[in-house]
């Protein structure tokens, strides 16, 4: 029996209407979640039971995503023990809090100790933990240039672009189209700042998920027969301060958090 191990193979079976009834915004994101073990094929209400039963046994599920993250997190915590916090604070754009590092993420202070444990006055966001530890370990300290490029133009961006567009830009655009207060939330909750740029857009905001890894969000409202458009840009130095896996992870995590906020607010 041939096994299905590619999200696109699952996607072909789905209605491709992005109804969101499975609690995932797009059918492609749902297909990815099925392969990663985060969702079951039966969570799609549009599939007949006999189809689910016939196909489900063919799906080769990967190690559950949460388990992969936990393994990676433990590895990074071991590496953190080798980092000299005192000499690293400047390169990270961080400060010292006793013997710990204090790093500002999305306007909030997060404290990292030598065991890799992360604490904050606010909720410690799971999707931020791995990028934050990655940042402490590998950030070169290169100052941002203010020159912005799309994800695909980052050195290793093309390797992740098949996931970046459906899991980051497209759902972000869907949220922006249906929740007009989204950008006000970003400004006030996540310490976003209006950006002055040369690109033509109705709204441009800069976020700092990590001190030296800013993200630029540009949104063009729909006009006449033109669709709305949302693009996410990164500083040209992004990969010198964070690896591409965590650049993708922190962006996808931000979008997932905005999805949850939008669902709560209807």
Domains delineated in the chain: 7-56 (1.10.15.40), 65-138 (no CATH), 148-264 (3.30.310)
pLDDT at 60: 67
Buried b (16+ CB within 10 A) or exposed e, 184-211: eebeeebebeebeeeeebebbbbbbbbb
On the question of pLDDT at 152 being above 50, the answer is: yes
Q: What digits encode the pLDDT tens for the residues 209-231?
A: 999 999 999 998 888 888 999 99
123 vs 13, more confident: 13
What pTM was estimated for this model as a whole?
0.76
Confidence of residue 51 (pLDDT cuts 50, 70, 90): confident
Mean pLDDT of 185-214: 87
Asked whether the CA dihedral 81, 83, 87, 93 is positive or negative, the reply is negative
Confidence of residue 266 (pLDDT cuts 50, 70, 90): low
pLDDT at 127: 82
Confidence of residue 1 (pLDDT cuts 50, 70, 90): very low
> Residue 246's closest CA among 205, 213, 217?
213
On the question of pLDDT at 64 being above 70, the answer is: no
Report how far residue 219's alpha carbon sits from residue 221's, in angstroms, rounded to the nearest whole number: 6
């Amino acid at each position: 029996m041939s096994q299905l191990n590619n999200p696109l193979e699952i996607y072909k079976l789905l209605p491709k209407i992005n109804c969101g009834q499975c609690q995932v915004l797009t059918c492609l994101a749902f297909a990815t979640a099925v392969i990663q073990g985060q969702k079951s094929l039966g969570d799609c209400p549009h599939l007949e039971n006999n189809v689910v039963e016939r196909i489900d046994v063919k799906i080769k599920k990967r190690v559950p995503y949460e388990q992969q993250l936990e393994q990676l997190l433990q590895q990074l915590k071991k590496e953190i023990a080798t980092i000299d916090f005192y000499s690293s604070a400047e390169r990270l754009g961080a400060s010292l809090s006793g013997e710990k590092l204090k790093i500002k993420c999305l306007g909030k202070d997060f404290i990292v100790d030598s065991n890799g444990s992360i604490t904050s006055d606010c909720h410690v966001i799971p999707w931020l933990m791995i990028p934050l530890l990655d940042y402490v370990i590998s950030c070169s300290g290169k100052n941002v240039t203010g020159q912005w490029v799309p994800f695909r133009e980052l050195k290793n961006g093309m390797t992740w672009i098949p996931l970046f567009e459906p899991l980051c830009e497209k759902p972000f655009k869907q949220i922006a189209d249906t929740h007009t207060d989204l950008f006000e939330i970003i400004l006030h909750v996540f310490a976003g700042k209006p950006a002055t740029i040369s690109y033509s857009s109705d709204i441009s905001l800069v976020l700092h998920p990590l001190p030296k890894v800013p993200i630029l969000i540009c949104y063009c409202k729909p006009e006449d027969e033109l669709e709305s458009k949302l693009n996410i840009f990164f500083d040209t130095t992004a990969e010198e301060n964070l690896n591409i896996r965590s650049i993708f992870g922190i962006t996808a995590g931000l979008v997932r958090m905005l999805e949850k906020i939008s669902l709560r607010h209807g």
